[in-house]
Amino acid sequence: MDFGPVLARSNLLYTLLYMPATRTQIYLTAEQRKKLDARRKRERKSLAAVVREAIDAYLSPGEADFRKIVEETFGSLPNLEVPSRDEWDRSYKWRRD
């Protein structure tokens, strides 16, 4: 079986997707590498793909941007009517079955 065309396409795909990227070397503990290897096998991805996804998740807006989001949206519903606590249905009781 001739894998030439398949390899050519995969090399082209790699070049298009990752050549603009910056090569970076990092040191991992044995435990970190073991966990990453298990995850990449489970998800059928390359180690690089799993690391890039982890970095993207780490850099995405999260807890640090929470205050900014609250400040930007605070008061966005100034006419919202909230019933008083006296109007709440207190007949419902939590039960563990």
Contact (CB, 8 A) for 52 and 41: no
Maximum CA pair distance of the chain? 78
- Confidence class for position 35, pLDDT limits 50, 70, 90: very high
Q: Domain map of the chain by residue range?
A: 26-61
The pLDDT, as a whole number, for residue 22 is 81
pLDDT, tens digit, 9 for 90 and up, residues 40-75? 999 999 999 999 889 888 887 666 577 777 778 877
Percent of the chain with pLDDT strictly greater than 70 = 67
Q: Rank 19-28, 29-38, 57-66, 85-94 by mean pLDDT and report only the highest.
A: 29-38
Residue 47's Cβ-count burial label (10 Å; 0-12, 13-18, 19+) is middle
The pLDDT, as a whole number, for residue 37 is 96
> Which residues, at least 6 apart from 43, have a Cβ–Cβ distance to it below 8 Å?
50
Residue type, 71: E
Q: Is 88 helix (H, G, I), strand (E, B) or coil?
A: coil
The pLDDT, as a whole number, for residue 90 is 66
The pLDDT, as a whole number, for residue 1 is 53
Residue 45's Cβ-count burial label (10 Å; 0-12, 13-18, 19+) is middle
